[in-house]
Amino acid sequence: MTEDKQETGFGISDDDILTRSREETDITFSSAVDVVLSLACRNKCGYCRFSKRNQDLTVPYSTIKTFKAAKKAGAREAHLVAGERPDKFHAIRAKFDVWGFNSYIEYIYTIAELAFLEGLLVNLEVGYLSLTELKYLKEIITSVEMSLESTNRDFLQSVHHQYSPSKDPNIRIKFIENAGKLNIPTNTGILIGIGESPEERIRAFVRIKDLHEEYGHIQSVKINTFVPEKNTPMSEEQPVSDETLYETIRLAREIMPKDVDITIPVNIHQDIIKLVEHGVNDLGQIRVYGRASLFPKMPFKTIEEYQAELALGGYTLHKQLPIKNQFILAQKYSKKLGQFLDKHRAKLKDNMREDKFMLTF
Ligand code: SF4
């Protein structure tokens, strides 16, 4: 074990993480593992391929094995995922009771802490949480993920979200705003191909930009594309065209400030060079252990394959932590997370002194 590893106590080597200033040809990713806490969801979106009727709940103890194996495979990020508010269901609340949790939030905290103790940093994507709940979880998570999807409120009356009241854009915006008030680094994005107009895409990006200008907390904007799923109300709809996708990436890059990454699920869209040439500068979470919670049958390539592909276009691939360097420098993390992140921050500061790391925004 190296001295570095002994010092952090996490067995994480920082050597492969980008700690100098980012250049135009630097493309980043986060090495991640997905852990699904529950597939139960209070909503029923017309295109959803994730939520299921079953009311299973991951047993916290069982995640330790996954976190250990993921860490060994090189993961830095534990991406904790769930349908929205599974605690709406009685059977799930009963399990919390049996396992000794007073609330859903205590349950999430415990799993996030297990991940952290195994050397992983948590990015949380579980749908809407209140300001108080986020404040409590902030101590143990490094970032949250919440897609704005669209600003079109008419979808609440149509096949898209008629049974998904919390897909109201105002509620999504409230969450993103609350995360900003609490200084929690936030990943957001939009969903394209569900019948939104080009103007609505612009409106969504501008709204995200405005939130970032106010709170300075948006790390990345992910462009998700609608993919028709069998046995859903929108199964007969057409998937989005490549041209629309590329146009939306260009638009996102044009509207979002430079310090916000533009990302895309690279297990669905495989032509990396084209994506990068249109404006993607981050490959998002590459699952280095296990499968993705969404589109699990669409596997990721290996890191080496992505590296080789990008090299052909003159780009280089670098790891970054789920909390990005500018947020680490600004110390947007709790004292508890400082056990690992303070050391990384010190390295960034040293590099700043030596001009290897400069804030370019
Ligand atoms: S909120 Fe998410 S998990 Fe729930 S039904 Fe909608 S898309 Fe599926």
pLDDT tens track for 156-212: 888 888 888 889 999 999 999 999 999 999 999 999 998 899 999 999 999 999 999
Pocket test for ligand 1, best of 38, 47, 48, 190 (most atoms within 8 A of CB): 48
CA of 207 relative to ligand 1 center, distance in Å: 22
Q: What is the mean pLDDT of residues 282-304?
A: 88
pLDDT category of residue 360 using cuts at 50, 70 and 90: low
Q: What is the mean pLDDT of residues 235-250?
A: 92
Ligand 1 binding residues, C-beta < 6 A = 41, 43-45, 48, 50-51, 83-84, 127, 164
CA of 155 relative to ligand 1 center, distance in Å: 14
Mean of the per-residue pLDDT values for the chain? Answer: 91
Contact 171, 203 (CB under 8 A): no
Residue nearest to atom 7 of ligand 1 (CA): 48
List Cα–Cα distances, 281 to 27, 115, 206, 210, in angstroms.
5, 27, 19, 21
Residue nearest to atom 8 of ligand 1 (CA): 48
CA of 161 relative to ligand 1 center, distance in Å: 9
* Pick from 5-14, 68-77, 238-247, 271-280: least confident: 5-14
pLDDT at 7: 35
Pocket test for ligand 1, best of 49, 51, 54, 232 (most atoms within 8 A of CB): 51
Residue nearest to atom 6 of ligand 1 (CA): 45
CA angle 284, 290, 291 (to 5 degrees): 60
* Residue 83 alpha carbon, nearest atom of ligand 1: 3
CA of 253 relative to ligand 1 center, distance in Å: 27
pLDDT digits (tens, 9 = 90+) for 79-136: 999 999 999 999 999 999 999 999 999 999 999 999 999 999 999 999 999 999 999 9
pLDDT category of residue 342 using cuts at 50, 70 and 90: very high
Mention the CATH class of domain 24-349. Answer: alpha beta
Token pair listed for 76 = 């830095």
Residue nearest to atom 2 of ligand 1 (CA): 83
CA of 51 relative to ligand 1 center, distance in Å: 6
Residue nearest to atom 3 of ligand 1 (CA): 83
CA of 231 relative to ligand 1 center, distance in Å: 15
* Pick from 12-16, 163-167, 348-352: least confident: 12-16
Q: What percentage of the chain reaches a pLDDT higher than 70?
A: 94
More confident residue, 290 or 16: 290
